[in-house]
Structure 1
């Protein structure tokens, strides 16, 4: 299978995933707005809110990286681990992040990306959009990995084992980024026309 075919298959598979009811764009936007409201209500100032968004973006990074590592291991070992083993690893991410220096070590990397804008208002708007993007990428990556492991998908997914784990991860992440951008763009278009 060529790289182009891998990319086409990945895009097609992700496209099928986001057509499921829980990927309804209005529901996604409402869910994100609820999360952002909750984060905002727990912050005593705009600065604290920005910091909380930075923490959440960094956590999403940890979560996404865990899913990536799991998928890479499957490909490197050319086997499909159980969905239960994937779920148990993902459930442990918050505890692992809390029990380690992960946030302190990685937040500085994201601060520059999150805190963009010439004033606090612009920074908050940008940080919210960046949070939404990282959450969508994470959710897509986690869902792709779970679907990759599903026994009903193995006949199709076995083709992914022909590639190096890095090629597959790069392709999947590139597609997750693209779909996240498209979802956000579509929601922004709908919001601006209302």
Structure 2
């Protein structure tokens, strides 16, 4: 099958995902504002706020990378595992990150992306945007994989197994990023 068909299928799946109640734009906006408010209240300075956002962005990249690897594995092995297996894997990511040097090794790489702006206020605003985007992309990917693995969807999702795993993951990530950008434009 062609990449155009894969792209249309992926857009359809993510459209169905976005119709779920937890993707309501108003509620999503309120949740994002609340999370950022809680992060800000949990620290005692603007610098600590930036550092916390950087830490969260770095963690989200680890989480997203684990999810991408899982999806890639499913495609390569042409297998649909139980959703519970995926959820257990994702619940174990924080432990893996905390027991490794992932944050210490990777936060410097993300610092340049997160800390943009000439003032601390500009940096905080940009860091909030990067965090929100990272969170949305991660959540969209997680929901896509949950839909992919759902037993009721197997007949439709089996078509994904006809493609190379890199092509599937790249297509899904591209759609997740595009949707995240659209959501952020709408709620800002």
In the alignment, the residues of structure 2 paired with residue 108 and residue 171 of structure 1 have an alpha-carbon distance, to the nearest angstrom, of 28
In the alignment, the residues of structure 2 paired with residue 18 and residue 71 of structure 1 have an alpha-carbon distance, to the nearest angstrom, of 19
* 1:61-76 superposed matches below 5 A: 61-76=61-76
Q: Secondary structure at the match of 1:139?
A: helix
Q: How far 1:30 sits from its partner (Å)?
A: 0.8
Q: Secondary structure at the match of 2:57?
A: helix
Q: How far 1:93 sits from its partner (Å)?
A: 0.7
* 1:1-194 superposed matches below 5 A: 1-188=1-188
Q: How far 1:81 sits from its partner (Å)?
A: 0.8
Q: How far 1:20 sits from its partner (Å)?
A: 1.0
Q: How far 1:148 sits from its partner (Å)?
A: 0.4
In the alignment, the residues of structure 1 paired with residue 59 and residue 181 of structure 2 have an alpha-carbon distance, to the nearest angstrom, of 20
Q: How far 1:186 sits from its partner (Å)?
A: 1.0
Aligned length: 188
Compute the TM-score of the two structures, normalised by the length of structure 1. 0.95
Compute the TM-score of the two structures, normalised by the length of structure 2. 0.98
In the alignment, the residues of structure 2 paired with residue 13 and residue 52 of structure 1 have an alpha-carbon distance, to the nearest angstrom, of 33
Q: Which 4+ stretches in 1 moved above 3 angstroms?
A: none
Structure 2's unaligned 5+ residue stretches are: none
Measured on the aligned residues, the alpha-carbon RMSD in Å equals 0.7
